[in-house]
Amino acid sequence: MGYFSEEDAELYRYLYDLNGYLVFENVISPDQVAELNVLIDEKIPPLPDDCEAENKPSYSIYRFGKAGGSYPSGPGFLDWGQSFVDLIDHPLIMEVMRMQLGDAFRLDRIFGMRMQKNMPNGKLHSDYGASEPFANAEPGKHYPQPAYQALHGFGVAVLNLADSGPETGGLRLIPGSHNSHYKLPDQVRSEKITDMVICPKAPAGSLLFFSEATTHGTLKWTADHERRSLLYKYCASQLTWSRTRVTAPPDATLNDRQQRLLEEPAGAKWFFPSLFEDEK
């Protein structure tokens, strides 16, 4: 392991597997946070004044700088400056994704998240596992994951550019839900019961990681300041969310690892080499 000591890596691997998420504070310096926020301010308009609960704002308002996945191919916010590009292979991101995805993985999609005061909860959901929309799991019945369905092959690195947590709102999730063999109960999905849902403290400059099989969503934003998060979504090299891709900005400078992270899907080690070959 590179970023962690062997002892710490053992602990974090256990906690990530147990809970389905990890938070590391003070990863990005205040100067870097300020620089990224200035670059974002130059590219996105202010939020409308009426984005409150009764208006039920759409994802088009929440999200910015989108590329890959549900959005067209392109560089997304990577085209807003080299500072965004250099984060795709941040050493901490590489080490945690290596824990989850192995030595061969790629950047599958990106987007930013923003919220202003009184924006409502975002629904709880899972993109993989028993609770994903197309799993055909029946409520209350044990669901054995079929061999052809992806389970833990997608992971997310969330860089916070503003303070978030239980007092402000932001990302929320159900710890351990990535390993559940049962579909999310309707009482939880409908918000009648939320005791098991947490909103981790993640100050500006922190990195929060979670498996996309972990049930997650957003908690109503109650802070006076705007929520700002950058989401870098990775997957095992042989997987892909959709036909669209994150592509390199035309004027960006990419190192070898960054170039490989933006390559097309391919079988790990066969046609997609390890991202960590140089560390052997």
- Tens of pLDDT, residue by residue over 248-265, are 999 999 999 999 999 999
Share of the chain above pLDDT 90, in %: 88
Mean pLDDT of 172-183: 96
Per-residue pLDDT, 88: 98
Distance CA 280, CA 261 (A): 19
Kindly state the helix (H) or strand (E) to which residue 82 belongs, with its residue range. helix 82-85
Q: Are the C-beta atoms of residues 268 and 102 closer than 8 Å to each other?
A: yes
CA dihedral defined by 246, 237, 234, 260, rounded to 10 degrees?
A: -60
User: E strands of the chain, at which residues?
Assistant: 21-24, 63-67, 105-115, 122-125, 154-160, 170-173, 207-211, 216-219, 227-236
Q: Which two tokens stand for residue 2?
A: 């590179």
Mean pLDDT of 115-131: 93
On the question of pLDDT at 57 being above 60, the answer is no
On the question of pLDDT at 131 being above 90, the answer is yes
pLDDT band of residue 51 (cuts 50, 70, 90) is low
Per-residue pLDDT, 277: 85
On the question of pLDDT at 178 being above 60, the answer is yes
Distance CA 155, CA 109 (A): 11
Per-residue pLDDT, 53: 47
- Which 3 state secondary structure label does DSSP give 115? strand
- Which 3 state secondary structure label does DSSP give 176? coil
pLDDT band of residue 62 (cuts 50, 70, 90) is confident
Q: Which residues contact 232 (CB under 8 A, 6 or more apart)?
A: 87, 88, 93, 107, 110, 156, 157, 159
Tell me the average pLDDT of the chain: 93
CA angle 159, 237, 245 (to 5 degrees): 65
Residue 2's Cα: distance from chain center in Å? Answer: 22
More confident residue, 54 or 98: 98
Per-residue pLDDT, 193: 95
